[in-house]
Amino acid sequence: MGRRAAVAVTAATFLLMGIPAEVGAHDVALTPGVSRTKVPKGALERGDLVAVVGTVRTSDSTCFAGVTVELVRVVQNVGERVLKSTTTGGNGNYWFKRRVRKDQRWFVRFPGFQTVVAGHSHTCGLATSKGIRIRIAG
């Protein structure tokens, strides 16, 4: 087969099958889970240091390794206020430290995001932990 014929066959193959970078293109949508634990447990004294530790989990590390999570306070009759944000480790673990002064309700939020690279779309949906009750003794 001559050179021109080989080029024509190759060009026809690309036209019929598509560009190689797009052959494996896909869309993935995941909804992570967010776990949390408050330490210490139970009632606290004003000024105590509280740690909130947990993990963001999905079947794809795109949605849990090196992602942002937020510690959010629920403010009655106002809404929500982000107290702190941090980045998870490679295994999805995170932690927050905070001094407490009064009764509050918190939760941890993973805001979610979408990445698109070379036709690959990964959507990591919004996820929140169960609530965390901060109760001051007295």
The tally of CA atoms less than 13 A away on the side-chain side of residue 25 is 12
Residue 94 domain-assigned (yes or no): yes
- For 38, the token pair is 């408050």
pTM score: 0.78
Residue 41 domain-assigned (yes or no): yes
Q: What is the CA radius of gyration of the chain?
A: 24
- For 77, the token pair is 């009759």
Q: Which residues contact 3 (CB under 8 A, 6 or more apart)?
A: none
User: From the DSSP assignment, how many helices (H) and strands (E) are in the chain?
Assistant: 2, 12
Q: What is the number of structural domains in the chain?
A: 1
Residue 87 domain-assigned (yes or no): yes
Percent of the chain at pLDDT exceeding 70: 83
**What is the rounded average pLDDT of the residues 112-132?**
90
Residue 108: what pLDDT? 98
Note down the domain range covering 129: 24-134
Please write the tens of the pLDDT for every residue from 68-117. Answer: 999 999 998 889 999 999 999 999 999 999 999 999 999 999 999 988 88
Residue 16 domain-assigned (yes or no): no
What CATH number is associated with residue 35?
2.60.40.10
- For 65, the token pair is 């390794």
What's the Cα-to-Cα distance from 94 to each of 33, 65, 111, 131, rounded to whole Å?
Answer: 13, 10, 14, 16
